[in-house]
Each structure stands twice: as C-alpha cells, then as structure tokens.
Amino acid sequence: MRINALLIGFGSVSQGLALILTKKRAQIRDAVGIDLSIVGVVEGVRRDGKYHSAFSADGLDLETLLRTKQQKGTVSAYPNAGGNDSTLDLIKKSEVQLMLEATPTNLRNGEPALTYIKTALGLGMHVVSANKGPFVFALKQLKGIAKMNRVELKYSAAVGGALPIIPIGDCALIGAHVTAIEGILNGTTNYILTQMAEKGVGMKEALADAQRKGIAETDHRLDISGDDTAVKLLIAANSIMQSDTRISDVRISGIEHVTHDQISAAREKGHVLRLIGTARSIDGLVDMNVEVREVGQDHPFFWVSGTSKGVILDTDILGKIVLIGGESNPQLAAGAMLRDVLNIYRNSQNLHDSA
C-alpha cells in the first residue's frame, strides 16, 4: 500500500529522516506493508521572505532532494518540482495520508506548527511531530481533533528523542497507573555537568563544546535554564499520567549557577549532579518540578552520563520501570519519527487483520 506523506520543515531532523528512508524503504514495506513516498516538502519562510518547497504527486526522489539541499541550499531548486508553496497551501492541496512535522519549536504559543497540525488532522491526515511547542499548549485539544477525525497523532521524538518514553507509557504500561515520572530529559545539560565533573572545565567552555557538537538548542538558554526539561516533563506527564498541567505550574531551576565547589563536594561523597525533572501524583494532582539533584551510585541516574537521557516510571501494578539511552542527536530524533510512523501503520494493519 502506497502512503503519500509531506515533510514540513527540512532542517537536520527532517534531513536525517529523509536519509533513513532512502536506506530502509524495503524494510518499512516488509515491516508494516506500506510504501512510504514523500510527495512534498516545505522549508518555511527563508531570508528572502518566500517559502521554499518541492512537490511531485509521483513522489520526490529523496537522494535528489538531499543533494539539492546540500548543493543549492534550498529544496525549491529540486528539478522540475521546486516551488514557493506556503506550508498551509501545500497541506491543503496535497492528497496525502501522513504529515511529518519538524519545524523549529516555539515555546511562546506553539505556532505556526500548532496550526499546521490542527489543519492536517482536520483534513484526515495522520501526524508525526518532533516539535515540542504544540503539545505544551494544546495536547488535549490535538488529541481530541485526532480522535474526532479517526487519525493518529504521534510525538515521541518531541519528548525523549530515541528514548521511547511516550510509546512505553502509552502501550507497554497499558492497564497500569503511572504515579510518578522522574527524568533526565535534556542531553545538553547532562553533557555539560558530565564535562564539568570529569574534565574540570567551566560552564561556558562545556556549553561551547556542546554547541560545536550540535547538541545544544538554538537558544541555549532553554537547555541550561531547565525550561527544555520542564517542557518535556510536562508533555510526558500530561500524556502518560493524564494530567492537565500548564507549564506555569512547573517549578523550574536550571544549571546556570552550578559551581565547581558543588561538583567537588558531591564527588567527595561519591555522588554526581544531575538536572532532573519530577512529576508525582499527590492527592489526585500532579506536582512537577525541575532541579539539580545530587545522586549516588544506588540511583540509576548516576550512570547516565554525556548526552544520554534516562527516565524512571513508577506504576501501581508493574513496579518501577527504568529506561536509559536516547543520546541527543538529530539522526536519533529522526529515527524516533520513523518509529512513530511504523507504530501508526502497524496499529492500522492489526486492526485490518482482525476485522
């Protein structure tokens, strides 16, 4: 079965996804019985004030698309298919079954990705997104639109990247009640704290190194302030714990003021510092906070170093579940988007087979 899809945004994550699809087309077909074809891509408004896009109803050749972006700097130079369609125009004119959205995150109001996702869901498209913004402000609403239109909405790449926090919470823990989530959810801050502890470098030097490696947010303040951790924690808790908490309800402190004296004091006790987000159910409400904590070797997060992440899910009937991994890397985020796509069509195939 051929599935036509749109790529909204063509930054490092979307390019990583396109690269993966060039290599795994046959495996995808074997796994879930679909032939995934990217028919359209749009980069958004560029410095020239125009949208840059490419569209072909017959499907775009992804190797050509990637080569065009690399050599020409824009997808609109794609041979015989380049154009200047706006994102909404491309969504509305395309007869596709799936939208893959990976535009830059806006934590002020979730736009314009929020509108893109609402529009696609309303037109009966499945949506896979790596964008945190829309789910901070409208997760419940978006889930409602998806349910009303009988389509799927997946966003695991927005929360833990390769670390499957949302899939585990949604599927593997079915029947259980998650009473607490504890997580190292930002690989950049974990990398900085690890570098400061292991190499004795300062905060600025460790941050600059993270930026050179491409693992820091465009606005690094989102990382070190704890805001990025808070956003991911909020989405995870509202999704897995069925809470309806706002970002303003999360108590947040970051790593800005961590000193070598604090790191040395922790080391003397055989401990390390980690930026940890916690969501805990208390008397029917979910309390959330982000803070730097000192942990010893008896805690799973002691062993989470570098850009890796970790999460602990406390449940009522399945005990404590610990996940570790998911390094900060655009290619891994792209892999998480593909995972979401495969889960959508695996679920659809299971429903078809049981009918």
Q: Which residues are catalytic?
A: 232
Q: Is the dihedral of CA 118, 121, 123, 125 positive or negative?
A: positive
Tokens coding 21? 């699809």
Q: What is the 3-state secondary structure of the chain? A: CEEEEEEECCCHHHHHHHHHHHHHHHHHHHHHCCEEEEEEEEEEECCCCCEEEEECCCCCCHHHHHHHHHHHCCHHHCCCCEECCCHHHHHHHCCCCEEEECCCCCCCCCCCHHHHHHHHHHCCCEEEECCCHHHHHHHHHHHHHHHHCCCCEECHHHHCCCCCHHHHHHHHCCCCCEEEEEEECCHHHHHHHHHHHHHCCCHHHHHHHHHHCCCCCCCCHHHHCCHHHHHHHHHHHHHHCCCCCCHHHCEECCCCCCCHHHHHHHHHCCCEEEEEEEEEEECCEEEEEEEEEEECCCCHHHHCCCCCEEEEEEECCCCEEEEEECCCCHHHHHHHHHHHHHHHHHHHHHHHHHC
Give the number of residues written for the chain: 355
Helix axes 133-148, 113-122, angle to 10 degrees: 10
In angstroms, the CA 41 to CA 101 distance is: 10
Question: 187, 193, 183, 198: which is closest to 237 by C-alpha?
Answer: 183
